[in-house]
Homo-oligomer: A and B are copies of this chain.
Amino acid sequence: MKALKIRSGCPISSALDIIGDKWSLLIVRDIVMNGKNTYNEFLKSREKIATNVLADRLSLLEATGILAREEHPESKAKIFYRLTDKGIDLLPVLVELILWANVHLPIDEEAKPFGDRLRKNKEAIVQQFMAALKKK
């Protein structure tokens, strides 16, 4: 696993030291928005993360307290990856990325209605997702 290097005490810089890459927040997205929780489910996402990169990011996200590995309720062969409170608190970052992309990037048509709903009702939707994640 690659080591975590902290470049400065700046909050933005420190946040990017952990989640500033192309894959970490996609794993968080898959848990929050797509109900995924296992290695193989993450692998199947359309962005096609490489197996070694996925393993590396999962261990980094675990090491930084964003994810926790738990035993899967249905099978001893599977590992259930769950977001910690620290991980759940990344949801507002995801939301702002979605809102920005909805306005400024070409994205899937199917994704737009959710962005529009978010725009009009951000707080409530964020609270609802957070509650759903913390509950279980």
Contact = CB atoms under 8 A, between A and B. Distances in A.
Using C-beta atoms within 8 Å of the partner chain, give the interface range for chain A: 35 or more
Copy number in the complex reads 2
A97 interface: yes
A105 interface: yes
Nearest to A22: B20
A12 to B, nearest CB: 5
Contacts of A14: 101, 105-107
25 contacts: A7-B46, A8-B46, A8-B47, A9-B107, A10-B29, A10-B46, A10-B108, A10-B111, A11-B98, A11-B101, A11-B107, A13-B47, A15-B97, A16-B25, A16-B97, A20-B20, A20-B22, A21-B21, A86-B104, A89-B100, A89-B104, A92-B96, A93-B97, A93-B100, A95-B96
